Amino acid sequence: MSRITHGVEVVLFRSRFLLAPLYLGLVGALILLAYRFIVEFWHLAEKTSEMNASEFTLALLALLDLTLLANLILMVIFAGYENFVSRIDIATESKDRPHWMGTIDFSGLKIKLIGSLVAISVIELLKDFIGLAGKAEVGEGTVWRILIHLTFVISGVLFALMDWIADKREFHGTHPQ
């Protein structure tokens, strides 16, 4: 192998660490999301006695929405870092290590992400439907959210189908093992 080729490969291989600041940024986003959750929870706690059942349900759905988004971010941080940057060694011996950590490949991450997006989309639709109680017409925003939700569902099914097809066929690569 020539020195130039080796040098290029070293740079390419080490360039994966350029992703680390992005994952740290997602940790910052998770902190902001936790702050937002606390603010929303505090408002809910203050106003619970003044809310009717629908308003209370909507507030709970908003908290659930934030929680699912936090789960999504955490999944991207762990799986993305371990798949593309480096193994998280500190978690290897930890009793608290999530069982899925280190086992999700890029394909599995896609499926989990689309599943989370579908769940978040369902919550948004549920909020819309609760808001529609007693109304005869569905607004344009709700129609768009339904279409977006269906797009997420169809995308998830297609991702799963593509992965299933890819698993069924045998890969004949050009690089020896």
Q: Which residues have C-beta within 8 Å of that of residue 62, sequence separation ≥ 6?
A: 40, 127
In the predicted model, is pLDDT for residue 172 greater than 80? no
The pLDDT of 53-70, averaged and rounded, is: 90
Question: Taking the mean position of all CA atoms in its chain, how far away is CA 25?
Answer: 15
In the predicted model, is pLDDT for residue 106 greater than 90? no
pLDDT value, residue 175: 56
pLDDT value, residue 76: 87
pLDDT value, residue 23: 95
What one-letter code names the amino acid at 167?
D
- Judged by average pLDDT, the poorest of 37-51, 94-108, 154-168 is 94-108
pLDDT value, residue 174: 57
Tokens of 105: 């490949």
In the block, residue with structure tokens 């599943």: 115
Question: Of 4-18, 30-44, 52-66, where does the model show the most confidence?
Answer: 30-44
The pLDDT of 76-96, averaged and rounded, is: 81
CA distance 5 to 10: 9
CA distance 122 to 28: 26
Question: Taking the mean position of all CA atoms in its chain, how far away is CA 59?
Answer: 22
Cα angle value 63/83/169 (rounded, 5°): 110
Give residue 94's pLDDT band: very low, low, confident or very high (50, 70, 90): confident
Question: Of 31-40, 72-81, 133-142, where does the model show the most confidence?
Answer: 31-40
The pLDDT of 6-14, averaged and rounded, is: 91
Percent over 70 (pLDDT), the chain: 90
34, 53, 128, 157: CA torsion to nearest 10:
70
Give the chain's mean pLDDT: 84
Q: Return phi, psi of residue 71, to 5°.
A: -60, -40
Tokens of 114: 């689309």
